Structure 1
Amino acid sequence: MAHLPITGATVSQAGAHWRSAGRTQRGQARLRNEDAFLDNPHGGCWAVADGMGGYRYGDVASRWVVSDLASVTAHGNLDQRINAARESLQGVNQRLRQAWTAPGANDGATMGSTVVALLLESGRAACVWAGDSRCYLWRGQNLYQLSRDHSLLRRLMDERHLSVAQAQAHPDARALTRAVGARSRLELEVLELSTRPGDVFLLCSDGLYQTLSHVELGRALSRRTPLQAVEQLFAAALRRPVRDDLTAVVVQP
């Protein structure tokens, strides 16, 4: 299985100093990689998108998501940039809907993708997401999951108070309750927070976090640079059989 190039960059901008790196790789059970990522420190925007594996054209959907988010710039305050990201993703949602609902298009197949995006400005961060790709924060030697999965599994645990094992027994446990392209109006969730010195953010697809434990994630995020963190994440994941696509973006404000 060929390894795709790793990206890495360091950018100082408007009083901020951002370092980041990202990587994606096709899983062993996939004909093509349906994950995509954005590593754009110049725009203060990073993202991971995972094409919906049960549908055709997931790779197209994820590429559209990250391509449109690449237009979000560092200009304006964080609230303005969150709105820009929202508008971008709503636009992708409509394009995906139009693409698969057009007469004779794609044999009626759905085109959809998860998305998790991180926006930074000096001292502030925002996580924007739909689906089950995740955003983690490594702070003070503790790992926090900032995003909350939009999945039937999570809903069963929240609404029926089921354990993880009980919820996983449901035949549709992995089904998504939100995704780009799934409905006429995209529902996005946003979490804003203040950043602290030493913070490290991880954006990743489910292929990565389902392969590695929280201890392994934290161990990698403890490395000195985002590039070293990404390298350790993939080294740990690839020591075992990996069926799903793997994608990770690590950001240090």
Structure 2
Amino acid sequence: MNKNYTSYAVSHRGAVRQLNEDAYVELNKFNIWVVADGMGGHEAGDFASQMVVDVIKNEVESLPASSISTVILINAIKKANQKLFEYSTDYLSNKTAGSTVTVLLLKDDKYYVLWVGDSRIYLYRNGGLLQVSRDHSQVNDLIDEGVLSEAEARHHPLANVITRAVGVQDEVDVDFKEGDLRSEDIFLLCSDGLTGELNDSEISLALEPKNIIDSGMALIHSSLVRGAKDNVTFILVKNEGVNSCANQKLTLDDLTIPMLSRK
């Protein structure tokens, strides 16, 4: 596997919450990174996010790195969904134990992002920031319907209401996208505790130095200064390698969607 990827992760309970219900894992040997956010206000949010992360980790580590694919990762998320759903039924009197999840896989000069819920993956390339994932949320549905603008959605009362999560139903659909990997690409996986405090322009500004440790420290500092009302968890992943497309600008055409809501 490519050894030219570096990563830096931060997880903080924030300035208000007493419990950190986020979880993450860096599987650098497999070029896989995962962030999960337990559903706030529900039973066992911290348990849910950790279970999702642990199931993905165990599934990946049971296989040779060369065999890892989006199909393997989707099946791992579905397995975590089944385990969480059964746990809620058996131990929580059918109360919900749910979690978002976002996953990044880098392989063969391609990137693959998978997600359920509103934890996000961004791509920073040549000074431009693009949200690769698309939130599974009520406000995004309203944006798609033309009812809300992006600016209005940010402070809408339904901003934290998600429409899809791991563990809340007996089956879950996992969305994913893929694209060509380029030199100096930086990926940001994050829970909504980060994006709830910082907008895309502020995130982009923090990533400008291209040193992911400095950028990570800037992101968590800015979140805490803003009051960090939720748990804040993120992973920054940088491609340090060089390839022939290094100077190509980031556009929406760089992103392909071979399959959505795959079962």
Q: CA deviation at 1:41?
A: 1.2
Alignment of 1:39-188 (within 5 A): 39-71=26-58, 72=60, 75-76=65-66, 80-102=68-90, 105-164=91-150, 167=153, 171-188=157-174
**1:39·1:46 contact (CA, 8 Å) conserved in 2?**
yes
Mean CA deviation greater in 163-172 or 80-89: 163-172
SS at 2:226's partner residue?
Answer: coil
Measured against aligned partners, the alpha-carbon deviations of 1:64-101 in whole angstroms (never above 9, x if no partner) come to 11112223256235xx5211111111111001110111
Determine the C-alpha separation between the residues in 2 that align with 1:206 and 1:85. 22
Q: TM-score when scaled to structure 1?
A: 0.87
Change in CA separation of 1:169 and 1:239 when aligned onto 2, cut-off 3 Å = closer
Mean CA deviation greater in 229-238 or 165-174: 165-174
* Residue 247 in structure 1 maps to residue 233 in structure 2: yes
Give the letter aligned to residue 76 of structure 1.
S
Measured against aligned partners, the alpha-carbon deviations of 1:178-220 in whole angstroms (never above 9, x if no partner) come to 1101211111000001111110000001110121122221122
SS at 2:26's partner residue?
Answer: strand
Paired residues, number = 236
Measured against aligned partners, the alpha-carbon deviations of 1:92-119 in whole angstroms (never above 9, x if no partner) come to 10011101112xx224321000001000
Determine the C-alpha separation between the residues in 2 that align with 1:24 and 1:162. 31
Give the letter aligned to residue 57 of structure 1.
A
Q: CA deviation at 1:223?
A: 2.7
**1:16·1:122 contact (CA, 8 Å) conserved in 2?**
no
Determine the C-alpha separation between the residues in 2 that align with 1:171 and 1:213. 17
Give the letter aligned to residue 65 of structure 2.
H
Q: CA deviation at 1:169?
A: 7.5
Give the letter aligned to residue 112 of structure 2.
A
**2:139·2:148 contact (CA, 8 Å) conserved in 1?**
no
Change in CA separation of 1:146 and 1:90 when aligned onto 2, cut-off 3 Å = same
- The gaps in structure 2 that reach 5 residues or longer are 240-263
Determine the C-alpha separation between the residues in 2 that align with 1:220 and 1:125. 22
- Identity fraction in percent: 36
Determine the C-alpha separation between the residues in 1 that align with 2:105 and 2:28. 10
**2:15·2:224 contact (CA, 8 Å) conserved in 1?**
no
Query: RMSD of the TM alignment (CA)?
Result: 1.9
Determine the C-alpha separation between the residues in 2 that align with 1:101 and 1:15. 42
Determine the C-alpha separation between the residues in 2 that align with 1:142 and 1:166. 23
Change in CA separation of 1:166 and 1:237 when aligned onto 2, cut-off 3 Å = closer
Q: CA deviation at 1:165?
A: 5.6
**1:134·1:203 contact (CA, 8 Å) conserved in 2?**
yes
Q: TM-score when scaled to structure 2?
A: 0.84
Mean CA deviation greater in 16-25 or 141-150: 16-25
- The gaps in structure 1 that reach 5 residues or longer are 1-13
Give the letter aligned to residue 27 of structure 2.
N
SS at 2:233's partner residue?
Answer: strand
Q: CA deviation at 1:18?
A: 0.8
Please point out which of 30, 33, 37 is paired with 2:24: 37
* Residue 234 in structure 1 maps to residue 224 in structure 2: no
**2:88·2:95 contact (CA, 8 Å) conserved in 1?**
yes
Q: Which residue of 2 aligns with 1:5?
A: none
